Amino acid sequence: ANYMESLPILITFTCLSGLFFTDIAIACVWIVFLGRILYGIGYKRNPKLRAPGFMLIFFSQMTMMVCSFIGCGKYIHQNSVQA
């Protein structure tokens, strides 16, 4: 879970999911923040202890990804029906 490599993905999914599911996006960003702290603490103590932080980051990013796809799909479907 390298921070710089995952940052563009986090920003993209945060923006897209935030357009359609604001509360979920906010909660997921806070979970990523908490996961990043736990990841750093775990990695400092023992590299094997970084798994809980990684899991929080991973699942919250996947939640935002799913919300982004659902929201974009609904938006495309809604605009294609009107045309």
The string of pLDDT tens digits covering residues 48-75 is 999 999 999 999 999 999 999 999 999 9
When pLDDT is cut at 50, 70 and 90, the band that residue 1 belongs to is: low
What is the pTM for the complete model shown?
Answer: 0.88
Contact 20, 74 (CB under 8 A): yes
In angstroms, the CA 16 to CA 52 distance is: 26
Q: Per the structure block, which two tokens stand in for 68? A: 């982004």
Torsion sign across C-alpha atoms 56, 66, 17, 10:
positive
The string of pLDDT tens digits covering residues 5-39 is 989 999 999 999 999 999 999 999 999 999 999 99
In angstroms, the CA 49 to CA 43 distance is: 6
